[in-house]
Amino acid sequence: MRSYNMISLQYWSIKIEAMENDIRSIEREERNERALRLAEQEANRAMNRIVHEADILSRPGVYDVHFVNVLNAKFQIYLVYGH
């Protein structure tokens, strides 16, 4: 069995507790940055769809494949959840 120096344990315990608020703050900032990044990606995707809509829809089968994928996903959800 290992023995530990109680002073050292108390020192590190206090140090870790002191960092707890900083760590929570950093985690909150990272979540906010991620949410902002995802929102920007969605906005860019939507803008590209608007700008290039005619080109996208003129491609053979692109809309059909997307529509089939959406229907398939909804059918899978129905099978799993019954909605």
Q: Whole-angstrom Cα distance, residue 59 to residue 62?
A: 6
> pLDDT tens, 19-69?
999 999 999 999 999 999 999 999 998 898 888 888 877 776 555 555 556
Continuous H helices in 1-83: 6-51, 53-58, 62-81
Of 3 and 21, more confident: 21
Domain ranges across the chain: 6-81
